[in-house]
Structure 1
Amino acid sequence: MKKPIIYDDHTDPSKTELHYYLDTRLGKKTCKALCEFCWLKRDHLSQHVEEPEVAIQRIRGLAAKGYTVLPMVSDTFAENGKYLKTELFYQNDEWYFENAAWSSGRPLLQDNYEELLLLCVKNKIDTIIMTSHGTEDKAKDFKGLTQPSVVIKAIENIRRFEEKFGYPFKIILTFTLNKENMSVKTLTSYFEHCENLGVDIIRVNRFADVQDQYPELRMTKEDTIKAYKIMKQVYDDHKGPLQLSISEDFGNWGVEIMNFPEGVGSCVAGERLFGVVYPNVYVCPVNLTLKVGEIDDDYNIIWDQEVIDSLMDAKKHPDFGGCIGVAYPHFKEIRDYFSDLVKHGV
């Protein structure tokens, strides 16, 4: 029997999530990549890093206030496993994929990849998520991308580790859909690629033009509706055991075809979901731009009600589409709601 499509679930009204970023740096110390359209490629995030001991104390303080806090780094294997050597990620199962490590794949090509994977075992991490920019190496439209061959080699190293140590990992590859590559043919090729690699789950994200450089790749409402139909069609037609996961950044235009529970695809960022780059609290954990609060010395969040009110108004706009992380960079009409408020980055 075909497994159900996985969706990002923020439908529990009793739960308020803080994605706590303690390292947002890109490059050689973390992900070893500099993807041009990465949501973390922002001037105000480029040097942010906290010592794990400090972050742990702050995370505990916020958790004591009733928040569900997820520690986030730009790559789980950053600094040769520095963060994995602490309790930050031990049995951290609040994410949709429970105990998961996120990586560009590049750190797992190092000579010490076994050591890094043993740290995963120590932390009860059983899932590794990597991004694949297509299915084969070729010249890319974007700078700094990790070529698919890197991810393939990382998977090979993971499989060698599994055979040697008897510890199985679930592997997830993520792909980004935009206006140009959104087609049955392309998505089918992604499915076949993952199936050939023995990947467990393919996850699909929607391109967000955070740096405001590629307006021609932005999906319109009609494109997004079409994308949902394509994703469902390709998954229904696919015969292998590969499972599909759809990111919530596709929003709610056309989401009804997926038969997800009510509320899936409708943004709760700024309501029950936030990003933290201490001491700042942002409306959206992906679009870390609109500051909505600040954490004080006692781990209380001092909220900016004007930002919250503006966000609620913006969500009623016909261009909103169910995801502030996409709508904010794509639509001036959405940004105008926040024109007089504190913003960082774009």
Structure 2
Amino acid sequence: MQADLRRPSKGDRTRRRLLDAAAALLARDGPAGVSLSGIAEAAGLRTGSIYFHFGSKDELVATVLEEGLRESLRHLDDALQPHPAGDAGARLWAAVRAHLDALVELSDYATVVLTMPEPDSDASVATYHSLMQRYRSRWTGLVEDAQRSGAVAAGPEPRLVRDLLFGAMNAVAGTRLRPGRTPADCAAAVRELLAGPLGPLPGGMTATPVPPRDRACGPWHPPVVTTWTSDECAAHWGVQVGTWNSYVSRGQAPAPLPDPGPGGRKVWDADAVRAFSRPGVGRRRESAESAAVLEELRAAADAPRERRRELLRAGREAGCEVSAMAAALGVSRHTAYAWLKD
């Protein structure tokens, strides 16, 4: 990854202070115990300064989550780069070490990603969900390759192995890392537990694969994920396919699954589509709060752009339709969406 040699501006530094403060407070208190005023105080800023960088608390939390995942992906890419694709065992071990290093080096960011409940699917966390799918998919592929090469037992379902590894690594690293226990120690322990073919064990020990035993409760079967095409998603939401695709492109609908369906078509997790709140449904269009925001927007038609963007964000939180806010400001809906994304 090419380094960005641009000198951080004052705005960049302020944004970083806010993100670091939010990550520390979220790691300590969880999302319910954190407020924008508390984040601003921890960063040594006024609460109003936050709105120059983030439209809402949800957007700030989502950005913290994205930062943690992006850096975790960077650690993974850097760790895998020296290992050829044919050396599946070494690649899996390198990924284990990269995950453990990320937990320690990213600290508060990693704690937030790993300990917060899965956020609801909405536009503010669409990028986070996409990054999380990418991270999990990368790990699933590493486990599958290691199973095919004989580096780990081929019996368990790859996603189950992946999640068991995540559980073990997350439990012993990060904020729970005991004195004297390093990421290298944890990685070596995981390496030994992965049956030995990743490298020689201490003292010349060898590992013999143990055949899976029958379970009293019967064989384990992976959960069945029902997938929908764009046509099926659009039909469920009661919109045209073009409208559905527009929602997806703007982050107003779930992202497609990383693995394509039959014929290479994009597919979506049906449960995620059912749970996602469709734009315009269940919003408080007639609330006193949204009406007050629309009135402010009408009065601010000639105000500086930053003020109008701030009011747009407040209106979105209040449940106002973007088209209604655009009309109040006297701009196109496309312009309003662009300002919300800036």
TM-score if structure 1 supplies the norm length?
0.29
The one of the two structures with greater contact order (alpha-carbon pairs below 8 A, sep at least 6) is 1
Structure with more strand by fraction:
1
Structure with more helix by fraction:
2
TM-score if structure 2 supplies the norm length?
0.29
